[in-house]
Structure 1
Amino acid sequence: MPHTVFIDGEAGTTGLQIRQRLAGRPDLELVSIDPARRKDAEARAELLNGVDAVVLCLPDEAARQAVDLITSNSVRVVDPSTAHRVAPDWVFGFPELCRGQREAIAASKRVSNPGCYSTGFIALVRPLVEAGLIPPDWPLTCNAISGYTGGGKALIAEMEAEPPVGASDVYRTYGLTLAHKHVPEMQLRTGLEHPPLFAPSVGRYAQGMIVEVPLQLWALPGGPDPEDLRRALAAWYEGERFIEVASEAECAELAAARAGAAGYVPGLDPEALNGENRMRLFVFGNRQRGQARLVALLDNLGKGASGACVQNLNLMLGLEESAGL
């Protein structure tokens, strides 16, 4: 008998992507609310308590309200919003976070999906903190660029409309108050003692992202070599299906790329993993200068949102982790 799943907020960007990934699976039955009763609290509560699993594709406050409506002890909840990512009674939905995390997700009734930027940052930093290569009190900076689909309906509508005459913003930096909502989970889930300085930006393209952490290796205790960092990441994610660490040779090839006759430089394309639940990690370094750039490449709507949500849902329902991915 298939498991029943209700996506609360299925009309949003993440909800639509999750529905597409789940549709047609024989092990799942998607349940929707009558559009005429969508704002009926009683109808929503009945549906929220009558299925095996709920996915909350809602704004933070609406996600908290939906959880309050769930009184059944059997319903499993995956929340892709920011509402519960640092809550102590919710399991963080990053199966590759550390040993035992996958089992914790499978056993939990409440799982909070990581943010898209957080996914890249945590994947790069957590293993290096655990390995002692980055001290927990180290001041870290994170630079990142995402497609505009991560910015919600208003930004999507603006970016997809005909630009005003004279407009030329193919790139925007934001988060200038230094209080981005992903920072608390970025700090907590990496074991850092201080919040990283996070500099996010958005490009005029739909989806895909690059997350980067620059490091002054000469200042770190022991002055680690770039390859020390890459090996630590490779060891951490050995055997993982959805996270891959690029080889030293591939990183060197990308770093050495030069413009050809046409002026094109092959390199990291933020859209390269669009539609996938994969993430690739790179370490670029300059031994003479004692510097490195850690880079994560992922789809902000894939491993950064809907793909990760399906991965968590599969674990919670005891299904094959890669089903639908």
Structure 2
Amino acid sequence: MAATARVFIDGEAGTTGLGIRERLLKQPGIALKSLSGEKRKDPAARREIMGEVDLVVLCLPDAAAKESVALADGLGNAAPRILDASTAYRVAPDWVYGFAEMDRGQAKRIAEAKHVSNPGCYPTGGIALLRPLVEAGLVPADYPITVNAVSGYSGGGKAMIEAHEQSGGPSFELYGLGFEHKHVPELQQYSKLSRRPIFIPSVGHFRQGMLVSVPLHLDTLPGKPKAADLEAALERHFEGAELVKVVKTAPTDRLEAEPLNDTDQMELRVYSNAALNQALLVARLDNLGKGASGAAVQNIRLMLGLDKA
């Protein structure tokens, strides 16, 4: 790798692309390469610049991302490494999932990968809550899991952002009510669930911030674990992680979605009522930080050897 790594963001004008660009401009050891407006959709110009860089970041719709991957891979030995922020390759077997804290060896796998898929914002929270518990045997892989979540409107794309910022937008709305939200496959696969979870997201009238929650009936789980057992399993899994923290809770807590805005942190909590044998797992993060651009820059730094895996 050159002393200064060259990076091209294909789709840098979108919300995620702009967020990544803003962060990378502050990163030493990285030089950003760009195309002028009229060349951004020119396949020949994009292919040419891809051959000049070390890493390409894709911030495009799924179909366009696949076209860009084909352009880049067509360069053969000159092909750059790729970080894709779309949904196109998140469960592809030959791509590495870019959630660095997911497992002990995941950061190393990201650092060594040719192709990395940046995680979705909702699955980042859901996987962080569920995978450690499934691996610990506290939650069966076939348990009927329900994941509920609320995000700021910035995660909904250009049309949703304009609707909220120009005309006010709805105060709150559920969506994904066909039970086929595009984040479900990665949520299921990387949480190690054999049964498809029910995932119902929502959006509120605030720009950014996210809460992802999973309710559990503790007396229906093997061994009837206590909330302290769940919390301990999360703490063990994320021990030493700088960006993912398990936070102690109190029954009177109220939890807002926005306090981690403009950070790359994620907080995990376990709420419970021992008398009722009920618990609620909650992840809080910035959907534009650890849920998007922040995670992308973390992966970029790993891929370029700027951080230790």
Provide the TM-score with structure 2 as the length reference.
0.96
In structure 2, list runs of 5 or more residues that go unmatched. Answer: none
Q: Percent of counterpart pairs with the same letter? A: 54
In the TM superposition, residue 212 of structure 1 has moved relative to its aligned partner by: 0.1
In the TM superposition, residue 36 of structure 1 has moved relative to its aligned partner by: 2.2
Q: Does 1:307 align with 2:294?
A: yes
Q: Does 1:80 align with 2:82?
A: no
- Match in the other structure for 1:275: 262
Cα distance in 2, alignment partners of residues 61 and 83 from structure 1: 8
Q: Does 1:112 align with 2:155?
A: no
In the TM superposition, residue 175 of structure 1 has moved relative to its aligned partner by: 0.4
Q: Could you tell me which amino acid in structure 2 is paired with residue 11 of structure 1? A: A
**Does the CA-based 8 Å contact 1:145-1:200 persist in structure 2?**
yes
- Match in the other structure for 1:188: 189
In the TM superposition, residue 269 of structure 1 has moved relative to its aligned partner by: 1.4
Q: How many residues align?
A: 304
Larger displacement relative to structure 2 (210-219 or 73-82): 73-82
Could you give the per-residue CA deviations for residues 247-277 of structure 1, whole angstroms, max 9, x where no partner exists?
Answer: 2xxx01xx225xxxxxxxxx21111101111
Q: Could you tell me which amino acid in structure 2 is paired with residue 61 of structure 1? A: A
Cα distance in 1, alignment partners of residues 196 and 64 from structure 2: 27
Q: Does 1:133 align with 2:141?
A: no
Cα distance in 1, alignment partners of residues 38 and 16 from structure 2: 22
Query: Could you list the runs of 4 or more consecutive aligned residues of structure 1 that deviate by over 6 angstroms after TM superposition?
Result: none
Q: Could you tell me which amino acid in structure 2 is paired with residue 170 of structure 1? A: S
- Match in the other structure for 2:238: 237
In the TM superposition, residue 320 of structure 1 has moved relative to its aligned partner by: 2.2
1:61 to 63, 68, 80: 63
2:4 to 2, 5, 21: 2
In the TM superposition, residue 49 of structure 1 has moved relative to its aligned partner by: 2.1
Matches within 5 A, 1:122-161: 122-161=127-166
Cα distance in 2, alignment partners of residues 25 and 149 from structure 1: 24
Q: Does 1:285 align with 2:286?
A: no
Q: Does 1:317 align with 2:304?
A: yes
Cα distance in 2, alignment partners of residues 232 and 59 from structure 1: 36
In the TM superposition, residue 243 of structure 1 has moved relative to its aligned partner by: 0.1
Provide the TM-score with structure 1 as the length reference.
0.91
Q: Could you tell me which amino acid in structure 1 is paired with residue 80 of structure 2? A: V
Cα distance in 1, alignment partners of residues 202 and 159 from structure 2: 16
In the TM superposition, residue 24 of structure 1 has moved relative to its aligned partner by: 3.7
Cα distance in 2, alignment partners of residues 45 and 103 from structure 1: 28
Cα distance in 1, alignment partners of residues 186 and 262 from structure 2: 25
What SS is found at the alignment partner of 1:161? helix
Matches within 5 A, 1:5-44: 5-44=7-46
In structure 1, list runs of 5 or more residues that go unmatched. Answer: 258-266
Cα distance in 2, alignment partners of residues 295 and 201 from structure 1: 15
**Does the CA-based 8 Å contact 1:311-1:321 persist in structure 2?**
no
**Does the CA-based 8 Å contact 1:136-1:191 persist in structure 2?**
yes
Q: Could you tell me which amino acid in structure 2 is paired with residue 282 of structure 1? A: R
What SS is found at the alignment partner of 1:189? helix
In the TM superposition, residue 321 of structure 1 has moved relative to its aligned partner by: 5.8
What SS is found at the alignment partner of 1:305? helix
In the TM superposition, residue 39 of structure 1 has moved relative to its aligned partner by: 1.9
Cα distance in 2, alignment partners of residues 24 and 242 from structure 1: 19
